[in-house]
Amino acid sequence: MRKENQGIRDACQISLPRKGSSGMPANLAGYRNGSSGIPGNLAGYPTLSFLVFHFLIYLPLMIQIEDTIVSLDVIERRFMCDLSQCRGACCIEGESGAPLEEGEAEQLRLALPEVWDELKEDAREVIRQQGVSYLDADGDEVTSIVNGRDCVFTRYAPDGTCHCALEQAFREGRTTFMKPISCRLYPVRITQYRRFRAVNLHRWEVCRPAEILGERLGIPAYRFLREPLISKFGTEWYTALEAAAEMVARQSEQK
């Protein structure tokens, strides 16, 4: 999904509770302090050992699983893409292209011949001039875009709905690369810091229909994103996230 910065609830910038805060759940035994795996500026907060993971609990705002700090929005907010309402606007709107991880630009180049004829002519011209990716104002590699808007890999249905040509080719068995992991994970955004990764849920008006549908169906964002979250972090990480979600739900019920 396109890169933008509006309204991000950045886990690493949220104020943390004081050490030994009375807001910590009373029924969680086995806390220890100062885990060597915890970022130095966060050490000393209560930690719970669970399976092979350490949860660093920052109630009511965030949790830690391994080297990731996860905003509770990922667990508590409901989300289910409603393409009939948004028409794929997240592939069009934004400040730059979709963020790319190392090696993904090469994957885009390898998949390009399979989707070339399906791309718009103005998108093909952008690719001819600058390739499938470029460095944005932040110095991050992102997918190329057309006239400051559409990702070059977008295609339009007769009703005006925007689709991803890469994903279509993948689902038809023509390629082995679906699309950038940042697109698959959206609305989750991952920010890499020196000692940890912040996992946040981005919210903006474009995805309001998805929030409404998610609320109606009762689907949390982390469940909607199960497959890409496992692709990014692994099955054990996701199992730990599910356990954390259950714990948070129980704590909410006891309030």
pLDDT at 250: 86
Do residues 12 and 191 lie in contact, with contact meaning Cβ atoms separated by under 8 Å?
yes
187/209 Cα distance (integer angstroms) = 13
Do residues 97 and 136 lie in contact, with contact meaning Cβ atoms separated by under 8 Å?
yes
DSSP string for residues in 153-186:
TEEE-TTS-EEEHHHHHHHTTS-S--S-HHHHHT
Query: Which residues, 6+ apart, have CB-to-CB distance to 198 below 8 Å?
Result: 10, 11, 12, 68, 69, 71, 190, 191
Nearest to 225 by CA among 249, 207, 247, 248: 207
User: Greatest CA separation found in the chain?
Assistant: 61
pLDDT at 236: 95
Do residues 224 and 245 lie in contact, with contact meaning Cβ atoms separated by under 8 Å?
no
Cis peptide before 187 (omega within 30 of 0): yes
The model's pTM is 0.75
pLDDT at 21: 36
pLDDT at 109: 97
136/212 Cα distance (integer angstroms) = 32
Please give the chain's pLDDT, 255 residues, in tens: 556 543 334 444 333 333 333 333 322 223 233 333 333 333 333 333 344 344 444 445 788 999 999 999 999 999 999 888 877 777 777 778 999 999 999 999 999 999 999 999 999 999 999 999 999 999 999 999 998 889 999 998 898 888 999 999 999 999 999 999 999 999 999 999 999 999 999 988 888 999 999 999 999 999 999 999 999 999 999 999 999 999 888 887 776
pLDDT at 4: 55
Structure token digits, residue 225:
């994103």
